[in-house]
Amino acid sequence: MKEIVVISGKGGTGKTSITASLAYLGGKDIVLADCDVDAADMHLLMQPDFGQAKDFYSGLIAEIRQDDCIQCGKCADICRFDAIPVIDGKYIVDPLSCEGCGYCPRVCPTDAIDMLDMNVGKWYVSTIKTGTTMVHAKLGIGADNSGKLVAHVKNEAKRIAEEEDKEIVLVDGSPGVGCPVVSSLSGAKFVVLVTEPTVSGLHDLKRVYELVDKFNIPAGCIINKADLNPQVSAEIESFLKQENIGHIASLPYDENFTAAMTQGKTIVEYDENNLNEILTQSWAKIKQIA
Amino acid sequence: MKIAIASGKGGTGKTTLSTNLAAYLAEKQEVVLVDLDVEEPNSGLFIKAELLREEEKYKMIPQWNPDTCILCGNCQEVCNFHAVLKLGEQIMVFPELCHSCYACSELCPTNSLPMVPQKMGELKHFNSGTLSFIESRLEIGQEQAVPLIRQTNKYVEECFSEQVIKLFDSPPGTSCPVIEATKDADFIILVTEPTPFGLHDLTLAVETMRELKKNFGVVINRHGIGNDEVEKYCSAENIPLLARIPNDRQIAELYSRGELLYKKIPGVKEQLDLLIHHIEGLESAGER
Ligand code: SF4
Ligand code: SF4
Ligand code: SF4
Ligand code: SF4
């Protein structure tokens, strides 16, 4: 089983649309994992049935039992996150500020503080329109995307792929260069970098590649909207050469990306011409290299 | 006046709006633009200004003193993040896991884990006339954005007076970093695209803002593509639609070169005027 992860460093490069198209082309040979849990959009294109839904708990949160609290203020004094304000004379934990460090219960003279498991979101195992399985999630509001939910989604996808004897796990990776993308990348066999020829696109590509390079994972790149700025496109291409990253394909700036999305379709379902051809070739190439 | 510019996910034009709005406002008054997207700060690519100051930013982590430690193991027990481990006769600290809660340090019976600073990123302060620009960047490998966002906010608080308009380019998403970046703002501009992805991410961002009890409005970027579901959603939910930045290949091209839009595209300037009008309305309402 191979694990292929698609990442882009920044948003708006068309990563999810491209991943969805690859997933469509992969049909029943793949298991799909949407690890972009902050802004999980894949389900809008893949028609999942949300077959199984489960809560995900990660980390802790403090709660003060008012009946046992003697208002000594010790907890508020030691909390480094200003998470225990006094409201109407009562010490109350602000759930959005509490880091779950567990320090306050250790200083409370009356044992009035409980540490509770925190529900950070939901995760799903669904059957999608291609008949295969997708694992995806929804992060709760203000939850800490520590990468644990991402890791969980990915591991479930891997487990299912093994069980069902699927060749490939295709992962829509998280944005940024922090914890979640680290979780998306670990264990990957091949990384597809999606970028666009803008000054920020190139800048973010370099930054996220630093990370990929640290993991020592072979990578290939798809340049989306390549004709938007031929000069930056050329810069990207020379960066790819220099770092020995395969140039999988260049896609033109095309309003069909949005048009397909508006109909809830992947690009390869919607477009029968140029984009379809390039993406079909890209998928063949990726399967061959990975 | 503190205004945060946020979006449910990246790539919706948040940075484009922040930089154009900042530069345009600066034609008439003092403005500071703060890039709080510390994992991927991009605003600086669009703002031409001179570097005034550079500061290294630190987070506090415990440092073990083997001479006084009695190997009681209390530190390992109190750390909820598994950032301190007792391995045989040694105490090991894993800085990337540490949340700087001070529990291990302050609860050590022999004071053998004093907190010491460790570099987590860099803050840069630029200036060009009436426009100031602050950018913080997380070191690669540092995983927690929130402490750096907090310190950057503090820096801005100390450096600029109440009168200066402050624009905060927030990180994307709805998780901790966004909350940290928006929780002190007087008003939040949510940027979205008129597409199914845009609408879905907007609804998450709106839920977050309502949870935080924030005053907010929506700006549609790339107006003209997709469909009108975002507009329908906003009117059904009674959310003010502040501006519609047109979709235009020329805009995409200017953006790709790191250029500001409002100077070249009259349609953008008009929309910024609408947005500013709304903000000024808020300000005078606040004074009353
Ligand atoms: S658990 Fe930690 S962060 Fe939460 S309230 Fe207690 S001391 Fe503060
Ligand atoms: S330390 Fe315990 S008793 Fe004192 S204020 Fe906090 S919760 Fe109440
Ligand atoms: S709590 Fe202090 S004395 Fe005890 S093992 Fe840790 S460092 Fe050593
Ligand atoms: S300061 Fe808190 S998080 Fe850091 S090592 Fe000590 S107990 Fe753990």
Q: Could you please report the per-residue DSSP string of A207-225?
A: HHHHHHHHHT--EEEEETT
**Which range, A208-212, B91-95, B170-174, is most confident?**
B91-95
What is the pairing mode between strands A168-172 and A52-64?
unpaired
Q: Do B10 and A10 touch (CB under 8 A)?
A: yes
Q: Please tell me the distance in Å from B173's CA to the nearest CA on chain A.
A: 5
> Can you name the residues that pair with A52 across neighbouring β-strands?
A125
* Ligand 4 binding site (Cβ under 6 Å of any ligand atom): A 101; B 62, 78-79, 81, 83-84, 98-105
From B72, B78, B87, B115, the mutation candidate for ligand 3 (largest count of ligand atoms within 8 A of CB) is B72
In a domain, A52, yes or no: no
For residues B91-99, average pLDDT: 89
Domains identified in chain B and CATH numbers: 2-58+121-285 (3.40.50.300), 64-113 (3.30.70.20)
Q: How many CB pairs under 8 A join A and B?
A: 156
Quote the CA–CA distance of B288 and B286 in Å, as a whole number. 6
Interface check for A210 against chain B (CB to CB < 8 A): the answer is yes
Q: Are residues A109 and A136 in the same domain?
A: no
Q: pLDDT tens for chain A, 290 residues: list them.
A: 899 999 987 777 889 999 999 999 999 999 999 998 877 889 999 999 999 999 999 889 999 999 999 999 999 999 999 999 999 999 999 988 899 999 999 999 999 999 999 888 899 999 999 999 999 998 887 677 667 888 899 999 999 999 999 989 999 988 776 677 778 887 889 999 999 998 888 888 998 898 888 888 999 999 999 998 999 999 999 999 999 999 999 999 888 888 898 899 999 999 888 999 999 999 999 999 88
Examine the domain organization and report whether A115 and A138 are in the same domain. Answer: no
Chain position carrying tokens 């550079």 = B54
A121: left (phi over 0), alpha (psi -120 to 50) or beta: left
Does A178 lie at the interface with B, CB-CB under 8 angstroms? yes
Domain total in chain A: 2
A176 in contact with B, Cβ within 8 Å = yes
Q: Are residues A212 and A72 in the same domain?
A: no
Question: What confidence score (pLDDT) does residue A273 get?
Answer: 84
CATH number (domain holding residue A69): 3.30.70.20
A262–B196 C-beta distance less than 8 A: yes
**What CA dihedral angle connects A154, A159, A165 and A171, to 10 degrees?**
0
In this predicted structure, the answer to whether residue B54 has a pLDDT above a threshold of 50 is: yes
Residue A143 shares a structural domain with residue A93: no
Mean pLDDT of B218-241: 92
B174 interaction partners in chain A (CB closer than 8 Å) = 38, 139, 141-142
Task: Based on the fold, state whether residues A137 and A242 are members of the same structural domain.
Answer: yes
For A13, the closest chain B residue by CA position comes to B11
Tell me: do A115 and A132 sit in the same domain.
no
Same domain, yes or no, for A233 and A99? no
Among A77, A101, A119, the domain-final residue is: A119
Judge if A19 and A101 occupy the same domain.
Answer: no
What φ, ψ does residue A109 adopt, rounded to 5°? -70, -20
According to the model, what pLDDT value does residue B201 have? 87
pLDDT of B174: 65
A38 in a structural domain: yes
Ligand nearest to the CA of B79: 4
A198 shares a domain with A279:
yes
Q: Residues 6 or more apart from A61 whose CB is under 8 A from it?
A: A93, A95, A98, A100, A115, A116, A118
d(CA A168, CA A287): 9
The rounded Å distance from CA B12 to ligand 2 centre is: 45
Is the predicted pLDDT of residue B140 greater than 80, yes or no?
no
Q: Note whether residue A164 is domain-resident.
A: yes
User: pLDDT higher for B172 or B80?
Assistant: B80
- CA of A40 from ligand 1 middle (Å) equals 30
List A123's β-bridge partners, or say none.
A54, A137
- Inspect the interface and report whether the beta carbons of A176 and B204 lie closer than 8 Å: no
The last residue of one of the domains, among A90, A119, A148, is A119
Supply the ipTM of this predicted assembly: 0.75
| CB A79 less than 6 A from any atom of ligand 1 | yes
Least confident stretch, A153-162, B100-109, B254-263: B254-263
Please judge whether A39 and B207 are an interchain contact, meaning their C-beta atoms are less than 8 angstroms apart.
no
Same domain, A134 and A228: yes
Q: Please, which pLDDT band fits residue B146 given cuts at 50, 70 and 90?
A: confident
pLDDT band, very low/low/confident/very high, at B286 (cuts 50, 70, 90): low
pLDDT on residue B173: 66
A81 lines ligand 1 (CB under 6 A): yes
Are A10 and A181 contacting, i.e. CB atoms less than 8 angstroms apart? Answer: no
Does ligand 3 come within 6 angstroms of the Cβ of B113? yes
Domain with A32, as residue range(s), is 2-47+128-289
Q: Supply the pLDDT for residue A177.
A: 67
Mean pLDDT of B141-167: 88
How far is ligand 1, taken at its centre, from the CA of residue A110, in Å? Answer: 16
Contact B6, B34 (CB under 8 A): no
In a domain, A176, yes or no: yes
CA of B64 to the centre of ligand 1 (A): 23
- Least Cα distance to B149 among B241, B39, B42 occurs for B39
Q: Chain B window 60-119: which residues touch A at a Cβ cutoff of 8 Å?
A: 78, 80-81, 99-103, 106-107
User: Are A159 and A210 within one domain?
Assistant: yes
Does the distance separating the beta carbons of B197 and A38 come in below 8 Å?
Answer: no
In a domain, A278, yes or no: yes
Measured between CB atoms, does A177 come within 8 Å of chain B?
A: yes
The model's confidence at residue B247, banded by pLDDT at 50, 70 and 90, is confident
**Domain of residue A224, CATH code:** 3.40.50.300
Residue B288 confidence (pLDDT) above 50: no
CB contact under 8 A, B196 and A16: no
Q: Is the pLDDT of residue B241 over 90?
A: yes
Helix runs in chain B, H state only: 14-25, 74-78, 103-107, 146-159, 176-182, 196-211, 229-236, 249-256, 266-287
Whether B228 and chain A come into contact, CB under 8 Å, resolves to no
Asked, for residue A53, whether it belongs to a domain, the answer is no
Q: Do residues A20 and A69 share a domain?
A: no
Among residues A119, A144, A166, the one where a domain terminates is: A119
3-state secondary structure B170-212: CCCCCCHHHHHHHCCCCEEEEEECCCHHHHHHHHHHHHHHHHC
